[in-house]
Amino acid sequence: MKNIGIIGVGGLAEKLVVGLRRQGFSLPVHLSPRGYERSSSLSKLEACVIMGSNQAVVESSDVILLCVPARAIDQLAKEITVRQGQIVISAVAGVGHDRLERLFPGATCVRVLLSFSDQHSRAISVLWPEDEGCTHLLSMLGRVLAVSGEREFELATVAACMSGWFLFLMHDLHEWLVDNGLCPSQAHQLVVSNFQDSISMAASIPSSNLRALGEQASTPGTFSAKGLNVLRHQQVSAPWGAACEVVLDALLNRM
């Protein structure tokens, strides 16, 4: 196992560090100085070391994790020089593998898709291209999915965006229950519980057809089927597909 350095200490990086420490990662974690408040908190609570510059992070670490905004990647590349063969794991959305190799010549570049649930070790981390060392490190946070190419990686990024969209759907359903007389706390419990039930059902049979599972839960003549008929008539899945297309197009055009 190797020590790591993180450049760009935002919320995602914080969740990753907490998750690694909870799973017993005891080697040094070097942090970039920007975002000092969060870095300072991690240095106290998670035994991390704040370095004086981004280059100092590079020089002190075996593996570099980039968590900067995409708009900052070009400037960062001008500030640091990586060692030949040094592993650079990029969590920067929309910056393709070829571009990473041009920005950080000589590095072994790997793209990764992380999750805010990393700190709970329930996440699925998406990796491309596959790398044994990165897989071992990320497996401490949960499952690791190594996809077969860059387009597949961007599709996984679209899937990650869905997580935020689901919360807005849950909010709207919660508000309908409250508007119709249910107290907010009970509405919250019911919406979350029913989403969890659907997830558990789908996860218990990984090879299952999700539509078929839905049909089983909404058999003809049931109240569930009545509502489903309205949703299908109004083609409620169409905006979801449109949102996915817009995000995928933006990702592919930024690489």
- Strand 63-66, strand 4-7: pairing: parallel
Buried b (16+ CB within 10 A) or exposed e, 134-171: beebbebbbebbbbeebeebbbbbbebeeeeeeeeeee
- The confidence score (pLDDT) of residue 119 equals 55
- The confidence score (pLDDT) of residue 255 equals 65
Residue 162 confidence (pLDDT) above 80: yes
Query: What's this model's pTM, rounded to 2 decimal places?
Result: 0.88
Q: Where are the alpha helices (DSSP H) in 63-115?
A: 73-79, 97-103
- Domains of the chain, each with CATH number or no CATH: 4-146 (3.40.50.720), 154-254 (1.10.3730.10)
Whether 94 contacts 250, CB under 8 Å:
yes
Query: Percentage of the chain surpassing pLDDT 70?
Result: 96
pLDDT tens-digit map of 202-243: 888 877 789 989 998 899 999 999 999 999 999 999 999 999
Q: Which residue has the higher pLDDT, 254 or 188?
A: 188
Task: Tell me the pLDDT of the chain averaged across its residues.
Answer: 91
Residue 27 confidence (pLDDT) above 90: no
Q: Which residue has the higher pLDDT, 38 or 75?
A: 75
Residue 120 confidence (pLDDT) above 60: no
